[in-house]
Amino acid sequence: MELRLILGDQLNAGHSWFRNTDPAVCYLLAELRQETDYCRHHRQKVLAFFAAMRAFAAALTKAGHNVCYLTLDESARWPDLPALLEAQIAHHQASSFAWQSPDEWRLANQLAQWAAGLTIPTAEVESEHFLTPRDGWQRYPHSRMEFFYRALRKQYKVLLDQGGQPLGGRWNFDSENRAKLPERQPIPAPLFFANDVQDIDAMLTRHGVKTLGRADAGALPWPLTRRQSRELLDHFLVHCLPHFGRYQDALSEQGWSLFHSRLSFSLNSKMLHPLEVIRAAQSHWQANQTTITLAQVEGFIRQILGWREFVRALYWEKMPEYQSTNFLGADRSLPGFFWNGETKMACVRHAIRQSLEHAYAHHIQRLMVTGNFALLAGIDPDEVDEWYLGIYVDAIEWVELPNTRGMSQFADGGLMGSKPYASSGAYLDRMGHYCKGCHYQVKARSGPQSCPFNSLYWHFLWRHRDKLGANPRLALPYANWDGQPEAQQQAVLATAEQYLIQLEQL
């Protein structure tokens, strides 16, 4: 008997393991306290992963495979994954053990160290999911995501003409995909699946698993199977892709998913393959060019073929040191309102409350609202990491860590992005509608009711000038600061200092 481990984010029905059935192979899936407890997760996240794992195990069994599935009730007797595996190897009298390469460094390290001590043959195989290998950082241009992305476009022949050049004569249509959402723009209703996971919810309560956020266990909206994931992909292509690129950066209270696909959970759990999604998007665009522009589909494909593969390559190249980088020396504590949304800042309040309600926020809410605030306020990146890793249904460390610590908090000193993604309230006002009803005044740079993003932005640049002053992409903001009257500068800095003292009350 060979025992093969399948982790909770390895629900890949297309893996070569499953091409044939073999009674001498047993597939092991287990719900683990080790995984519920390494950070405090959103309840919807735990429910979704456990439910998707159960559905995958059932599908394997139906296909004729030999499956051993351990619920939390059954696995709780073992303190961690190695202890459970040792017991299962003995129970099944396994003569060999195999596992797919984990995508998180902590699990890869844990399994490799444990397996090295086994006396039976072992084998580690690829997960057969990503479009680049673990050492992709060394194999592809990595100075910036754009060049990494172009290399992959060429390799996989995505959005290219017959001569291998980018369709439309450009690699990137980002400049056309930054529109503010009109107030009367119709928004497609999100596709929900209403999965009943009340049994899992009761189990989490029974075991005292600590979670955050809210969940309707009788109607969990996330796709839990490959079939549901394909339905969500089709829904996106038909109803959202026609406007996706144009409004992908828009901030709005009109809807919590807007034109975004919400496919990240299906992708990160491997129920969908990235190339499958990319090909489907390109084919749908080709058949509907009267209603979908090239800019819309390119903006979507770049998120998967570009950013997703790039962050994974960076993660595996720089771990484990990457998880402790803190280039700007940020050390303030995360304000309490990140856990309850009780803040007077309208944009931050909406982003956090939406995250607590739906375990989801789109990339600009994560980067330019909550992330931007944490960056400007100098929040310890360890605490920011923990929050992002826990609160989102799609958050797995390989994708969360570079996006948070690197792109959002600039803690890596510029590996992910060439400059900090910092902005004042003007950007938030330009991309959204929050400012009209906010307690703070977005036009005011200083004073007790001025938008905190304004003074904190200038204070951020001022206090980090030794590290950021030579950055060519920040030359204009620093020139702007230097051109301001000294009295105005002092008023801005004084306001920022006061806001930093009273972060909890903002």
pLDDT tens-digit readout, 356-370: 999 999 999 999 999
Q: Which has the closest alpha carbon to 6: 155, 167, 186, 128?
A: 128
Residue type, 183: E
**Rounded distance between C-alpha atoms, residue 295 and residue 246, angstroms:** 8
**Rounded distance between C-alpha atoms, residue 396 and residue 372, angstroms:** 21
**Rounded distance between C-alpha atoms, residue 371 and residue 461, angstroms:** 16
Tokens of 37: 């407890």
What predicted TM-score, i.e. pTM, was given to this entire model?
Answer: 0.95
Place of tokens 């072992």: 122
Residues 6+ apart with CB under 8 A from 380: 326, 330, 331, 332, 333, 334
**Tell me, what's the pLDDT at 255?**
87
Q: In angstroms, how far apart are the furthest CA atoms of the chain? A: 79
**Rounded distance between C-alpha atoms, residue 319 and residue 304, angstroms:** 22
**Tell me, what's the pLDDT at 183?**
84
**Rounded distance between C-alpha atoms, residue 428 and residue 250, angstroms:** 9
Helix axes 294-301, 274-287, angle to 10 degrees: 180
Task: Report residues of the chain scoring pLDDT below 70.
Answer: none
Q: How far is CA 482 from CA 317, 427, 461, 469, 496, in A?
A: 39, 21, 11, 12, 17
**Tell me, what's the pLDDT at 398?**
97
pLDDT tens-digit readout, 326-354: 999 999 999 999 999 999 999 999 999 99
Residue type, 222: W
**Tell me, what's the pLDDT at 136?**
95
**Rounded distance between C-alpha atoms, residue 271 and residue 128, angstroms:** 12
**Tell me, what's the pLDDT at 212?**
96
